[in-house]
A and B are shown apart, each in its own frame.
Chain A
Amino acid sequence: MTMTWLLVRRYRLPLLCWTALVTALCSTPSAYQSAYATAEQRRTAVVLAQNNPASTLVYGRLPDPGTAAQMFAWEIGAFVTILTAIMAVVVAVTLTRTAEDDGSLELLRGCGVPPMRPLHSALVILAVQSGVLAVACTGAVLATSRTADGVTGAGAAAFGAVVGLTFATVAAVTVLLAQVAATAGQARLLGFTALGAAFAARAIADTRHLGTLNRLSPLGLRAVTGPFTEDRWGALLPGLLAVVILGGTAVLLCARREFGAGLLPRRDRRGGRLRIRTTVGLAARLARPALLSWTVAVAAIGTLFAAMGSGTVEQQRDGEVGGFLGSQLGAGDPAAEYLAYCGTVVGIVVSTYAILSILAGLRAEDTGRTGLVLVTGVRRWAPTAAQAVVTAAGCLVVLTITGVISALITPSVLDGDDIGPRSLAYTVGQWPAAMASIGCATLLVGAFPRLSGLAWLPLLASSGLALLGELLGVPRRIQDLGFFRHVPDVAGPDPHVTPLLVLIAAGAVLVLLGAAGSTRRDLRAG
């Protein structure tokens, strides 16, 4: 048990945070009760959702009659199961391979821990975590039974069981892949690839009416179980059996691989040369792998998000969208307002990338790599400035590619004027917001590295103002202080770009201050 407790102790914070996030999402069925004023409006929304291919692709099929509980399980249920699956990949790799790669498990193995004990402990923790998720989600949904139609004890328990089993299945697949992969990073990549395949299988099953495929995908458990509709408990049994078989196979494979290695050979060699002469060149080369992943992820999610708005836009044209989404759409052209909302979400995600990228510069300083760069004759401010420049360019690349793809695809699925140009402008127009985030993070990393955690504060506050400001009745002048929702409608009369220029200027000034600040302090290590 010591090994199990040690792993729990080491990773308790991420485990708790993931659980809290998923549970919080499960307490939202009542929002679907209040979103529609009349039964007629709800019926219209249900019909639109059932006939919208993009919504079916993302969320699956919405069952009749479309009660608040069913809409919750359909829409939030999709997010919850995807988030749970992402959590399962991250946590499973962390528990099984990260400790091997960073060397900490080697010390424990040297203290007499048997070879298979770490995997056994990881499997125990994953099983318990799966149970915790099931219970927590059931409880969170059940707590809303008086405020949302269709929420039943059996339905809530079935929904919780689906979430728990989704976690267990994806975790078991990832643990198995972690025995095959050469490194923790590769295990994570394989896990996410498997997750992508699971999503594709579920999407094909729902859009092409191939229900059998849903039985093969962990993300299809929600559809085959049907919480709040059929509550088919028997549909969970194949999943449970799969978890046992996958876990057992992982244990067998673990016994056949070397410590710190997988069954796949590791790619150890490369023959290329690095032709760089500046810190910007080095930062760009180092940022390349992460930028590629973020570009693919943001472009896929951003385009999908924009493309599935036809139902919402149609409803908004009749003035029927209320609640959170209604607050996002405002009073302008419904298509433009929806694309602005999608742009805001993309902007928040890209700003997250920006802050992570700037904070990576601080990690390089802490590990001594920045010191090695500086002693080649590089100016003290150059690594800080280079990280900001490369991050800004990276954000522009992500936004431009997302915007162009979205502009090419969205016009064919969303009715309205100038959909392509608007889609492009609302996405690329988020670059000034990303610049502002880069500026704040660079100032803190450069001048006040101990406070670098505060770099998230402006993003959190701006996201809160953009997503909840209208709903909570925050005065407009306060909302305008946020980084997002300043992109004008390019197809509208007299687009106003001054706020965007202010954001760019503020970001640039803060970057300069951060770079200057770095010259006035000691390097943290190196």
Chain B
Amino acid sequence: MTEPPIDVSGLVKRFGGYTAVGGLDLRVGPAEVHGFLGPNGAGKSTTIRVLLGLHHADAGRVRVLGRDPARQAAEVTRRISYVPGEVTLWPNLTGQEILDAFAGLRGSRDKAAEKRLAGAFALDTGRLVRTYSKGNRQKVALVAAFAARTDLLILDEPTSGLDPLMEEVFQGAVRDAAAAGRTVLLSSHILGEVEDLCDAVTIIKDGHLVESGQLSDMRHLAASVVTAHLPGRDAATVMARLRQTGLTGETTAGTVRLAVPRDLVPAVLAILADADAPDITCTPASLEDLFLRHYVVAPR
């Protein structure tokens, strides 16, 4: 069986007495777009730096593209494209010179892809970097990353400076990369972006794994939200019948709202239909519903 592009188990990374990552497991399959989520300070960027061989793990097993990045960082990163959240470039070089430098150092380049991506991202590569906005600096890193002939893309909050139109271009580039068989690890706080792009997600908090798996499976396990508008007198009666199924909900001005596990949805809808509720909506759990509860953190 082929080894997954990213296979991490029991990763521990400490900075002095502070444990940034405490026994994390992360597994990303081939050609998968994998969301890497967690609140600020959860340890996402630290984990990514360990994957890139920029930080050394204190414990655990880390394999990236079948190699140990701590020992074979150059061999690993030659096959990786990386975009950090805060891109700092050399101000006295132009965007094109930076692309030339990255491609030259990597030793391979796809000029056609680079030109196509620079056009798609509307990047003026002839300008000096010091005149670039944050978004334009981000675009240079994105063009270099997608244009490189690499097997794995590690993107750490890559769209924080992009406008909505460029966000669309970015999503297209990620889909193209996945379609071409490249693996993508995407760390992002933009849950809509993750929801649109990712097949699987890993959520970490305080340096520990909280949840990991296919997005569809996680949705399946989560509750849907059902709302219905009922005449004032019926609302209390219907709510009492719903409570008999073991659910709790709220009634406000004749509107019933409750979270319903997937297996109880037909029964709840039957009760509401029986009460002749004129407006019934059933919304499957969103990524926000799934993850926002994990974002509540205490200072570490």
Contact = CB atoms under 8 A, between A and B. Distances in A.
Interface string B92-117: 11101110111011110000000000
B88 A376 contact: no
B101 A523 contact: no
A282 interface: yes
A375 interface: yes
B55 A374 contact: no
Interface string A493-526: 0000000000000000000000000000111001
Given A272-B94, A377-B78, A522-B54, 9 more contacts: A269-B94, A274-B98, A275-B100, A276-B104, A277-B105, A368-B88, A372-B87, A372-B88, A522-B55
Interface of B: 49, 52-56, 73-75, 77-82, 84, 86-90, 92-94, 96-98, 100-102, 104-107, 126-128, 130-131, 141
Nearest to A273: B100
B65 to A, nearest CB: 12
7 contacts: A271-B126, A274-B100, A276-B100, A281-B104, A286-B93, A367-B88, A375-B54
A279 interface: yes
Given A372-B84, A376-B77, A273 B96 contact: yes
A244 interface: no
Nearest to A277: B104
A417 B100 CA distance: 52
A446 to B, nearest CB: 15
A116 interface: no
A374 B88 contact: no
Nearest to B106: A376
Given A380-B53, A522-B55, A368 B104 contact: no
B105 A369 contact: no
A278 interface: yes
A277 B92 CA distance: 19
B73 A276 contact: no
Contact of A523 (B49, B94, B106, B126): B49
Contact of A268 (B79, B98, B127): B127
A277 B105 CA distance: 5
Interface in A359-377: 367-369, 371-377
Given A276-B104, A282-B101, A270 B126 contact: yes
A183 B91 CA distance: 12
Nearest to A279: B105
Contacts of A526: 49, 54, 84
A270 B97 CA distance: 9
Interface in A375-421: 375-380
B173 to A, nearest CB: 18
Interface of A: 183, 266-279, 281-282, 285-286, 289, 367-369, 371-380, 521-523, 526
A380 B126 contact: no
B86 A378 contact: no
A114 B126 CA distance: 35
B100 A377 contact: no
Given A275-B100, A277-B107, A375 B82 contact: yes
- In the complex, the 3 A-B pairs of residues with the closest C-beta atoms, listed nearest first: A377-B78, A274-B100, A274-B97
Contact of B90 (A276, A278, A286): A286
A377 B74 contact: yes
Nearest to A288: B92
Nearest to A379: B74
B74 A378 contact: yes
B90 A375 contact: no
A105 B178 CA distance: 43
Contacts of B127: 268-269
Contacts of A368: 84, 86-88
Contacts of A378: 74, 77, 105
Contacts of A282: 101, 104-105
B80 A375 contact: yes
Contacts of B105: 276-279, 282, 373, 376-378
B278 to A, nearest CB: 51
Contacts of A379: 73-74
